[in-house]
Amino acid sequence: MPRKSTRLTFAVLATGAGVFSMLQSLIAPALPTVQHALHASQSTATWVMTAYLLSASVFTPILGRVGDLAGKKRTLVGVLLAVLAGCLVAALAPDIGVLIVARVVQGVGGALFPLSFGIIRDEFAPAEVSGSISNLSAVIAAGGGIGMVAAGPIVSALDYRWLFWIPVAIVAATVLIAVAYVPESPTRAQGKVSWYGATLLSAWLVALLLPLSQAGRWGWGSAKVLGLFAAAVVLFALWLTAEARSRTPLIDLRVMRLPAVRTTNAAALLFGAGMYAIWSFLPGFVQTPSAAGYGFGASVTASGLLMLPMLLAMFLSGVLSGRLEPRVGAKALLTTGAALGALACGFLTLWHDAQWQIAVVAGLFGLGIGLAFAAMANLVVGSVPPEQTGAATGMNANIRTIGGSIGAALTSVLVTGRLQPSGLPYASGYTHGWALLALLCLAAAGAALLVPARRQDRTTAPTTSGATRAPAQVR
């Protein structure tokens, strides 16, 4: 295939990233089924989700940087093989321990996001980059929605193991096409991987995310939670010091301090808090028996179908953003996306008594996710040197995940902090949670307004290799 042909390259990138995004949400609705089938306790079964989160958080920025240094195609193929192996082991897992290990291996696929953005920047014509990033972001966002919608029907019609067998077939075909047709990117960063920095980055991420995901079970005031939070602060400070002193840092802090990057990352943290909490708690609200005074007693399949407007809206707005970005700018799209998220959560706070209201909220929030995902990726890619694309977009994805963990943890405190005699949450817990998420999304819109509206001189952008950039504009 001629090098200038990019359609098949995009198809490979979209398939890989979409499957990984789907794996994030596909298992959540089926977790009780998995717990029962593998004779595991509820506390053990939750590690199927936690292990995946921690693994993706660690590998996303590290392998994004490895791709910048060693070659994005080579790293992409290796990551796809890891996802394939993880799905295969998960499909065959005889017990919960093996399944958790498989989910750790699957988490390596988090690096597909920064690697894909980097390949698009390196291989596609400049006029195609923004639209292609928007389209890929739409696929990534929609992948999470597909997981929520498809999990119930797959488990009901087949078996929970098909949640992994289906990705095995898709990823295997993707690997073969990637090896044959995806070109190796010519842009390489200079230096080597700072494994000391990678170790410290991994350590503070685990120390932060582990207590956030387990605090509801361990107790917010427990020694484990407080000790891990303290360790996260210390390890984060050590990581900053090590990266600042390193000649070849894993994450160039000068790049992370660029105005467009730091404000976009702030918006990603806040919007991620609202987005992941909605994904985590809205299905549970819908599935709550109406005897609790709210909820609709929906099945896993029915609650997934109520999320269908979100899936469709995410994809359509993500694709649309590629056409709007040259006209209105990525900043305006990010601000609008976060504002739509705030509007959706505000609507949910006041009106949640009918299923059509849930569908409207899902659609509104989906519009916001599609716009925001594409805008964040375009803002970061357009603001950093080419040889820093993988590391910078990997950290942006990670920051969004950290925000999601914080949002889910705070919402969990509000929802489960006070329970009815039946053990179900009170409606007020959900109402307060939705209000918090509306405020977080509103704060994300405020952070988006701080993104520089225009950058004209990029010749002095910091790089680790001494490369210079031609002047460019970021709207």
Percentage of the residues of the chain whose pLDDT score is greater than 90: 38
* pTM recorded for the entire structure: 0.82
Query: Where does the pLDDT of residue 5 fall: very low under 50, low under 70, confident under 90, or very high at 90 and above?
Result: low
Greater confidence (76 vs 412) lies with 76
Query: Where does the pLDDT of residue 2 fall: very low under 50, low under 70, confident under 90, or very high at 90 and above?
Result: very low
Backbone angles phi, psi at 419, to 5 degrees: -115, 150
Percentage of the residues of the chain whose pLDDT score is greater than 70: 94
- Name residue 445's amino acid: A
pLDDT, residue 454, reads 56
* Rounded Cα–Cα distance for residues 191 and 243 (Å): 14
User: At 38, is the secondary structure helix, strand, or coil?
Assistant: coil
Query: Where does the pLDDT of residue 340 fall: very low under 50, low under 70, confident under 90, or very high at 90 and above?
Result: very high
Neighbours of 226 (CB within 10 A): 15
Can you say whether the dihedral through the CA atoms of 284, 55, 238, 461 is positive or negative?
negative
Say whether pLDDT at 339 is over 90. yes
Greater confidence (357 vs 386) lies with 357
pLDDT, residue 375, reads 92
Question: Whose structure tokens read 């717990």?
Answer: 35
* Rounded Cα–Cα distance for residues 448 and 177 (Å): 38
CB 76 within 8 A of CB 123: no
Mean pLDDT of the chain: 86
Tell me the pLDDT tens digit for each residue of 199-231.
998 899 899 988 988 887 888 889 999 999 999
Say whether pLDDT at 38 is over 50. yes
* Rounded Cα–Cα distance for residues 15 and 83 (Å): 12
- Identify any residues that bridge with 419 across adjacent strands, giving them in sequence order: 425
Mean of the pLDDT values across residues 103-120? 91
**DSSP-assigned letters across all residues of 86-143:** HHHHHHH-SSHHHHHHHHHHHGGGGGHHHHHHHHHHHHS-HHHHHHHHHHHHHHHHHH
Say whether pLDDT at 395 is over 70. yes
Greater confidence (303 vs 351) lies with 351
Tell me the pLDDT tens digit for each residue of 296-325.
998 878 888 888 898 899 889 988 888 888
Backbone angles phi, psi at 36, to 5 degrees: -70, -45
Q: Where are the domains of the chain?
A: 7-193+248-449, 194-247
Say whether pLDDT at 82 is over 90. yes
Tell me the pLDDT tens digit for each residue of 173-186.
999 999 988 888 77
For helices 427-449 and 355-381, give the axis angle rounded to 10 degrees. Answer: 30
pLDDT, residue 341, reads 95
Q: Which of 137, 174, 146 lies closest to 279 in space, CA to CA? A: 146
**DSSP-assigned letters across all residues of 155-194:** HHHS-TTHHHHHHHHHHHHHHHHHHHHPPPPS---SS---
Name the E strands within 318-362.
Answer: none
* Rounded Cα–Cα distance for residues 2 and 305 (Å): 42
CB 159 within 8 A of CB 312: no
Query: Where does the pLDDT of residue 475 fall: very low under 50, low under 70, confident under 90, or very high at 90 and above?
Result: very low
- Which superfamily is assigned to 7-193+248-449 in CATH? MFS general substrate transporter like domains (1.20.1250.20)
Say whether pLDDT at 461 is over 60. no
Query: Where does the pLDDT of residue 456 fall: very low under 50, low under 70, confident under 90, or very high at 90 and above?
Result: very low
DSSP 8-state code for residue 386: G
Q: Which of 374, 309, 301 lies closest to 344 in space, CA to CA? A: 309
For helices 195-218 and 389-416, give the axis angle rounded to 10 degrees. Answer: 10
Say whether pLDDT at 467 is over 80. no
Say whether pLDDT at 471 is over 80. no
Highest mean pLDDT among 60-69, 287-296, 333-342, 419-428: 333-342
Backbone angles phi, psi at 425, to 5 degrees: -65, 155
Say whether pLDDT at 254 is over 70. yes
- Neighbour-count burial for 184-212, b at 16+ CB within 10 Å, e otherwise: ebebbbebebbeebbbbbbbbbbbbbbbb
Say whether pLDDT at 473 is over 60. no
Give 400's contacts (C-beta < 8 A, 6+ positions apart): 268, 269, 271, 272, 275, 376
CB 303 within 8 A of CB 281: no
